Chain A
Amino acid sequence: MYDPAGFWVSGISSGYRMSSRGNIIAVLVLSGVMLGLPLLLNNDYYLSVLIIIGLNTILALGLNLLMGYAGQISLGHAAFFGLGAYTSGILTTSYGVHPIPALVIALVFVGVVAIIVGVPSLRLRGYFLGMATLGFGVIVSILFKEMSFITQGPSGFRGIPELSAFGFVFDTDLKYYYLIWTCTIIILMISANIINSRIGRALRAIHTSEAAAGSLGVDIQAYKLAIFVLSALYASLAGSLYAHFIGFISPSSFGFHFSIVLVTMVVVGGMASIWGAIFGASVLTLLPEFLMVFEDYEIVVYGLILMLIMIFLPEGLTRGVIERIKGRLAR
């Protein structure tokens, strides 16, 4: 029966989500694994793949807050990633700004862009919101190509300096690896905390019934916008880190194709699943390495994977498979 103390200890868990304590344990396990992994996979290729998985996880976490929890689609999320990358790249390379202030300026800039894009487009629903964000993504990727006087055009922007902070220079992949996975794990924890809070409940409420959410005092437009901006900030951070790590950015990395890959990560990992984001990001980062043989048809295979998962495992791979295994065992 009713026991307030007991509830607090068990957190605010529910059915398919992990309790706060479960989350903390999972974060500790993940941190341990990521800490030790470079010892096993200590070559530049593996490290760079792991770094990209970390960055993609940050992107997928942001998009999952928006799509999986608040139920709002974005087909232009690569644009925020690109804006973060280009802002950091241009400021540090062309204007000699220190990487950390440049990263902060990128966050502010992307936040403002997200507000400007979000205010009108989040009034739309479903396909229409999808189209609006898609349009935004296309515009931004054209700007990257055409504004060659600052972006150096379609051939890409080169010579981005290494990230440095307080005299410490991130000049090896291993240093980037630890930096980026620290950021990823912090963002993972932040996201889990938001979801298991009053804010997260308001988002999930909007997803199921805007009428009921509104009648209980949730300012629907404000919450949609806030989560849209937050997910854009995640993308901007990932973009800045990516620019410094890779040293060379080109418009093709931030186009429509990558927006779709991000959506696929969320769907594969499972909508409304914080931990699925890591899984989705890993699968979609590793897949191209295996799909090299398909070359130009890679996007077709992505599409096919997305379709098959939506048809057979609409809850996403992680939860879908877990539930099917449970179902088998119960029988």
Chain B
Amino acid sequence: MMLSIQEASINFGGVHALRDVTFQVTEGSIKAIIGPNGAGKTTLFNVISGFYPPISGKIVMFDKEIQGLKPHQVAALGVNRTFQNIELFDNMTVVENVMVGRHGLSSAGLVKGIIGSAFRSPFVRREEKDIKERAMHYLDFVGLAPRAEENALALPLGHQRYLEIARALAAEPKLLLLDEPAAGLDERETEDLSRLIEEIRKLDITIMLVEHDMNLTMDISEEIVVLDYGEMIAEGTPREIQNNKKVIEAYLGEDIGD
């Protein structure tokens, strides 16, 4: 099993942001997390990424418990993500942003890395060249290669989201967490995004998706988990979720099924 969330709970100031959330993610699948605002979707991503540990429960990835690990340790296991409120490095160019994605793949440790880069060792030169080439490859993958040398924030919103995806892909994740990738995109951009996600999946990357755009979610995901006030109220295929009474009551209202 790629990822197994077992009775994960977390509190913020007495509020149950997540309560006994339990589900599994199969390797190679696309799993969506949906729910009204404040349901705990981003919190769930933050717990998986190691930003804060759950107060109880387990997060198991490939039979290894990862709750309590720091973000960089979780990243080292092949979990990378994008952010709902875009977190690009505004003091870097487009391609440099993606180059940071290659950070964890270097074989150089911290001290060797600093000394090597201080004196431009042959190893560092070779590695730098490789990092740049790989970064350009992923920029090309999302169609942003022509804008490589611009400042990251010079890109329009939709491209900024693509850049975050390219940056996460550059880390060669096994599991990619996409936090509202379609937020702020128009209909056509969302269609492009849906094609891009299909392409990513062909790279043998398992995807978890938090998304408000129901058409996109129902279209691309195999399984959906529904959260409401930090609790999991349903899990199933898009069709099952669309017909789930609890879900309709809690969240989807009459929008569904048109």
Contacts and interface: CB of A to CB of B under 8 A. Distances in A.
B89 A198 contact: no
Nearest to B154: A15
Contacts of B96: 12, 14, 201
A219 B100 contact: no
A212 B74 CA distance: 13
B120 interface: yes
Interface string A47-83: 0000000000000000000000000000000000000
Interface string A196-230: 01111110110111011111111110110010001
Interface stretch (A1-9, A122-130, A316-324): A1-9
Interface string A178-211: 0000000000001001100111111011011101
Contact of B117 (A4, A193, A222): A193
A7 B136 contact: yes
A4 B72 contact: no
Contacts of A4: 129, 132-133, 136
B83 A211 contact: yes
A241 interface: no
B136 A204 contact: no
A220 B110 CA distance: 11
A194 B96 CA distance: 14
Contacts of B245: none
Contacts of B70: 214, 219
Interface in B101-140: 101-106, 108, 110-111, 113-114, 117-120, 124, 127-129, 131-133, 136, 140
A272 interface: yes
B118 A194 contact: yes
A220 B72 contact: yes
Contacts of A12: 96, 99, 128, 132
Nearest to B137: A2
Interface stretch (B59-67, B145-153, B187-195, B220-228): B145-153
Contacts of B49: 214-215
Contact of A193 (B80, B118, B129, B149): B118
A111 B96 CA distance: 31
B71 A215 contact: yes
A31 B150 CA distance: 32
B132 to A, nearest CB: 6
A273 to B, nearest CB: 12
Interface in A270-296: 272
B48 to A, nearest CB: 10
Nearest to B99: A201
B81 interface: yes
Given A215-B75, A217-B75, A222 B91 contact: no
B167 interface: yes
Contacts of A226: 110-111, 114
B247 interface: no
A109 B237 CA distance: 62
Interface in A82-140: none
A226 B111 CA distance: 8
Given A15-B93, A193-B119, A198-B131, A216 B111 contact: no
B51 interface: yes
Given A201-B99, A217-B171, A218-B72, 5 more contacts: A14-B149, A193-B119, A212-B167, A216-B80, A220-B72
23 contacts: A1-B145, A2-B140, A2-B145, A4-B129, A4-B132, A12-B132, A15-B149, A190-B119, A193-B119, A194-B118, A197-B113, A198-B127, A202-B103, A205-B89, A211-B87, A214-B51, A215-B75, A215-B81, A216-B75, A218-B100, A219-B70, A219-B110, A226-B111
Query: 10 tightest CB-CB pairs across the interface, nearest first?
Result: A217-B104, A214-B71, A197-B117, A14-B93, A212-B87, A217-B75, A209-B87, A190-B118, A208-B89, A219-B72
